Amino acid sequence: MSFSFTLHHTDAHSRARRSTFSTPHGDVQLPTFMPVGTQAAVKGLTAEQVRSTGAQMILGNTYHLALRPGETIVRELGGLHRFMGWDGPILTDSGGFQLFSLAQNTKVTEDAAVFRSHIDGRLLTLSPERAIEIQEALGSDVAMVLDHVIALPASAETIRDACDRTIRWAARCRQAGRRTDQAQFAIIQGGLDPEMRVWCARQLAELDFPGYAVGGLSVGEKPEEMYAVLDVVCPAMPVDKPRYLMGVGTPQDLLQAIHRGIDMFDCVMPTRNGRNALAFTDEGPLRLRNQIHQRDERPIEVGCPCLACRHSRAYLRHLFLADEMLGPILLTHHNLTYYQRIVSGAREAIEADRFAQYFEAKMAGWQRPAVS
């Protein structure tokens, strides 16, 4: 099966889009949020539990899977879908973000990036061709091109150099691709420079990738700075391709980006916070270790279909204080379900030209004083 993108409707009062991205492992209704399964697992949940949150597509990481267990083993065992027991679409990141997060252990040249493994210290060379080779062995539905991520703030010269390299590497990734059942997404860089972002987007659009991502954000800049970048870069991205904002973010970030025309998201925030006893709700975050919940018989949210909301806040608090592994599992399931409820509600609101009202109602709830 080939890939296709169908834009069904754009909200009458915003740039929010309702669309479908079709892949060999099924259709993805957009906007969507992809749970992060860096090492072929969404931490704490089985594939069936991830699916029960409403997730349609998940994310894995090229760098981590190449180190352990190795892409050859994954390929021999039937590919990433079979290996982890997930039959829906999978997107794999290229490892480009590790150029940023592991900068002290990375040397970047025009040919490739050389990493020192965080596991055993051995060297790993990641060129654009190697990044695609690994992802083709993994068998993901979407392979991200290798890009050059830099820390912000940065000089104009540094930003331009990273942009130029990102575009050259994207062309090499395109040339290296062999699988017809895997789509490559290019990644737009440019720091916080509006002109550089638009220029990079237009250069990559000429290479005609099946999808486009905005990278290099959520790396320490203020939310308002990220939104300003999206204001200018989204109109420069192809209308007839999926738009993916990488590594973002809070519930507020999701709706702000959807408002500006973004279709796809991933972030560790719901799972990481779930493991640390923080639950996302329409009334703001709940910190379930706090004593105020000691005798609270209410669920986290009335009407939420997640596994955690079958129990009381008091019981969930007890699990965390007793160091029972069930606590992080249940809160992870709740937070991922909550994120899916956000994007599902956005899809319905866009279809009805009510996204502006949906956006305002959600923002008003999240801006109330945080619940203890």
Count CB-CB contacts under 10 A for residue 178: 8
- Tokens standing for residue 45: 């949940």
Catalytic status, residue 266: yes
Helix (H) or strand (E) holding 32: strand 32-34
183 within 8 A of 211, measured Cβ to Cβ: yes
Report the alpha-carbon distance of residue 222 to residue 188 in Å, rounded: 19
What is the widest separation between alpha-carbon atoms in the chain? 61
DSSP secondary structure code for residue 70 in this structure: -
- The active-site residue out of 93, 147, 193, 253 is 93
DSSP secondary structure code for residue 371 in this structure: P
Catalytic status, residue 93: yes
Residue 261's region, left for phi above 0, alpha for psi from -120 to 50, else beta, is left
- Tokens standing for residue 293: 């919940």
Helix (H) or strand (E) holding 340: helix 326-351
Residue with tokens 């975050």: 285
Q: E strands along 195-238, which residues?
A: 211-214
66 within 8 A of 134, measured Cβ to Cβ: yes
Nearest-5° angle of CA 258, CA 261, CA 265? Answer: 50
- The active-site residue out of 11, 193, 253, 266 is 266
Nearest to 16 by CA among 369, 367, 353: 353
Nearest to 341 by CA among 248, 242, 270, 290: 270
- Looking at the annotation, which residues are catalytic? 93, 266
